[in-house]
Amino acid sequence: MLLLVPPIFSLLCVCVCVCVCVCVCVCVCVCVCIILTRGSTIFVQSVAFVTLVPVLATPAGARAHTTQRPKRAMSKITTPYTILCYGDSNTWGYDAVTQTRLGVDVRWTRRLQTMLGPAFDVIEAGLNGRTTCLDDPLGSANATYSCNGRTALPVVLHTHKPIDAVILSLGGNDLQDRFRMTAPLIRDALRNLMLDMRRHTVTRAEQPLQIILCSPIRLELTPIARDWGFSETSAATALALPPLLAALAGEMKVLYLDCLALFEPDPYDGVHFRVEDHDAIASQLVNKIATIPNAPPPLFMSPASKDTPTKLDH
């Protein structure tokens, strides 16, 4: 006799089977995910271990050496002998007629570079209106910048260091009446500038700073010179400076160039160098530089300095 199964019971069986299958599938998926996740972690750990083994096997000193930044190979570099030209508009290269700056092939600072050659580096640091140590709010600069040579000196020195020598050419603007500077006061101001130069460590190791002191030229009292504040007193003070500066150079053991005895002012304004003298100024300075101990030989030098160079004593 056949056993008849009620329809409701058959439906229930089907539902149970479906639920069981779903649970089995979910369990399988979870297991697969766990296996995959743990497998990747193990793989990463294995790779890290394999990578770390050689490092751990290396001695500590060797590991420290390999982690340091590689040092760049040092090559022997020849540094030019650096000369700073520190002065006023006559160092800047002022053209009295055009009231502009002379070209690089004319002004004495650039002519000096050409004559000395590539073993030297001539730095131009001339400023219109610059004094030795005086503020000048009424000068030709119209108070647009400081003309005080002493306050500007440290910045200029440290900007261009290392410096081997300085050509100091100041004092001309101090002659203007409003400053009331006598020749001894200008000498003292120049002494202070040279002392300041030596106080600042701007030279190469174990090399003293060499200084060439240049006197201002004489004044010719043209209408322009008078308009700038120069007078008979200024002209007399300029004439009194060379012997004082020569003695100062001996006291400070520096080289000295008497520009007043060698060069005339431009007749147009009576204050600045003549254009045609710039080459001669450079030539005179080359002869002075040729006497500095440890300085390279200049590329071009006048015959007089080649014959009997006199070395500077220290």
> What CATH number has the domain bearing residue 266?
3.40.50.1110
DSSP codes joined into one string, 110-175: HHHHHHH-TTEEEEEEE-TT-BSS---TTSTTTTSS--BHHHHHHHHHHHH-S-SEEEEE--SGGG
What is the per-residue pLDDT for 78?
A: 75
Q: Is residue 61 part of a domain?
A: no
| Rounded (10°) angle between helices 183-199 and 149-160 | 30
Q: How far apart are CA 270 and CA 160, in angstroms?
A: 32
Q: Is residue 151 part of a domain?
A: yes
Give me the number of domains the chain comprises.
1
In this structure, are residues 285 and 114 in contact, taking their beta carbons and an 8 Å threshold? no
Q: Is residue 75 part of a domain?
A: no
Residue 86 tokens read as: 């520190």
Q: How far apart are CA 251 and CA 249, in angstroms?
A: 5
Q: Is residue 222 part of a domain?
A: yes
What is the per-residue pLDDT for 49?
A: 43
In this structure, are residues 86 and 190 in contact, taking their beta carbons and an 8 Å threshold? no
SS3 80: coil
Q: Tokens 């053991």 — which residue?
A: 253
85: phi then psi, degrees, rounded to nearest 5 = -100, 105
Residue 258 tokens read as: 């008497």
Q: Residue 236 sits in which domain range?
A: 82-291
Q: Is residue 276 part of a domain?
A: yes
Neighbours of 289 (CB within 10 A): 27
In this structure, are residues 215 and 168 in contact, taking their beta carbons and an 8 Å threshold? no
Q: Is residue 22 part of a domain?
A: no
What is the per-residue pLDDT for 165?
A: 98
Residue 163 tokens read as: 């410096």
Q: Is residue 17 part of a domain?
A: no
Q: Is residue 204 part of a domain?
A: yes
Strands 165-169 and 210-214: parallel
State the Cα torsion 49-51-56-58 to the nearest 10°.
160
What is the per-residue pLDDT for 40?
A: 47
What is the per-residue pLDDT for 273?
A: 98
Q: Please give the chain's pLDDT, 314 residues, in tens.
A: 444 445 565 666 666 666 666 666 665 555 555 555 554 444 434 444 444 444 444 555 544 554 565 565 544 557 899 999 999 999 999 999 999 999 999 999 999 999 999 999 999 999 999 999 999 887 766 668 889 999 999 999 999 999 999 999 999 999 999 999 999 999 999 999 999 999 998 998 778 999 999 999 999 999 999 999 999 999 999 999 999 999 999 999 999 999 999 999 999 999 999 999 999 999 999 999 999 999 999 998 765 444 333 344 33
